[in-house]
Amino acid sequence: MWTALSAGLLAAQAQNQVPVTAKSRNGQFIVHGRDTIQPPSGGELRPVGDNDVVSLRPDTLAIACDRIRQAIHLQLGAVERPGGAVHLHLRRPRRIEGQLTIVPTAIREGWQYRIEVPEQVEWRRLVRAIVEVVLLDVANHDLRRTDCVRPPLWLAEGLDSLLVTASGRDLVLEPQTTLNRNARRPDPLAPVRATLAGRDPASFSDLSLPDPAALADPERFAYFQASATLLVFELLRDDEGRTLARDFLHQLPYHLNWQTAFLRASNGRFQTLLDAEKWWAVGAADVLSRDPSLLWPRDRVLSELQLVLTETADVRGSTNGPVSRQTLGLSEVVRTWVFPAQQEVLRRKANQLVILGLHTPPDLMPLVTGCQRTIEGYVNGRANAGTEGTGRLDIAARAKVLAKTAAAKLDDLGRQLVAARAKSP
348 and 386 in one domain? yes
User: What was the pLDDT predicted at 317?
Assistant: 62
What phi and psi, each to the nearest 5 degrees, are found at residue 44?
Answer: -80, 135
Are 14 and 159 found together in one domain?
A: yes
Which CATH number fits the domain that encloses residue 388?
Answer: 1.20.120
| 57 and 167 in a common domain | yes
The neighbour count for residue 396, using CB atoms within 10 Å, is 16
Over residues 35-45, the pLDDT tens digits come to 655 554 555 66
- Same domain for 166 and 191, yes or no, is no
104 and 168 housed in the same domain: yes
pLDDT digits (tens, 9 = 90+) for 278-309: 999 888 887 777 766 667 888 999 999 999 99
Name the pairing type of β-strands 177-178 and 53-55. Answer: unpaired
* Domain-ending residue, one of 177, 207, 242: 177
Tell me the angle at which helices 218-235 and 153-167 cross, rounded to the nearest 10 degrees: 80
Looking at 146, 177, 208, which one is the last position of a domain? 177
What phi, psi does 196 have (nearest 5°)?
A: -70, -35
pTM of the model: 0.66
91: phi then psi, degrees, rounded to nearest 5: -115, 160
Q: Based on the fold, state whether residues 25 and 170 are members of the same structural domain.
A: yes
3-state SS record for the chain? CHHHHHHHHHHHHHCCCCCEEEECCCCCEEEEECCCCCCCCCCCCEECCCCCEEECCHHHHHHHHHHHHHHHHHHHCCCCCCCCCEEEEEECCCCCCCCCCEEEEEECCEEEEEEEEECEEEHHHHHHHHHHHHHHHHHCCCCCCCCCCCCCHHHHHHHHHHHHHHHHHHHCCCCCEECCCCCCCCCCCHHHHHHHCCCCCCCHHHHHCCCHHHHHCHHHHHHHHHHHHHHHHHHCCCHHHHHHHHHHHHHHHHCCCHHHHHHHHCCCCCCCHHHHHHHHHHHHHHHHCCCHHHCCCHHHHHHHHHHHCEEEEEEECCCCCCEEEEEEEHHHHHHHCCHHHHHHHHHHHHHHHHHHHCCCCHHHHHHHHHHHHHHHHHHHHHHHHCCCCCCCHHHHHHHHHHHHHHHHHHHHHHHHHHHHHHCCC
CB 35 within 8 A of CB 16: yes
In the chain the first and final C-alpha atoms are separated, in Å, by 69
Q: Please, what sign has the CA dihedral across residues 80, 83, 85, 89? A: negative
pLDDT at 291: 67
Write down how long the chain is: 425
Is residue 77 assigned to a domain?
Answer: yes
Residue 3 lies in a domain: no
Position 133 scores a pLDDT of 94
Q: Are residues 171 and 272 in the same domain?
A: no
In which residue ranges of the chain is pLDDT below 50?
A: 1-14, 16, 40, 387-389
Dihedral angle over CA of 379, 360, 425, 370, nearest 10:
20
Q: Do 300 and 415 reside in the same domain of the chain?
A: yes
**Domain span at residue 233?**
185-291
Q: What is the radius of gyration, based on Cα positions, of the chain? A: 30
Last residue of a domain, one of 154, 177, 200: 177
Distance, in Å, from the CA atom of 217 to the CA atom of 210, rounded to the nearest integer, reads 12
Does 268 reside within a domain?
A: yes
Q: Note whether 69 and 28 are within 8 A (CB).
A: yes
Flag whether 96 is in a domain. Answer: yes
**Are 157 and 140 contained in the same domain?**
yes
The answer to the question of residue 345 being in a domain is yes
The total number of structural domains that make up the chain: 3
- In terms of Cα–Cα distance, which of 86, 88, 89, 94 is closest to 120? 94
Does some domain include residue 42?
no
pLDDT in the model for residue 308: 92
Residue 2 lies in a domain: no
> Does a structural domain hold residue 264?
yes
Query: 25 CB contacts (<8 Å, ≥6 apart)?
Result: 66
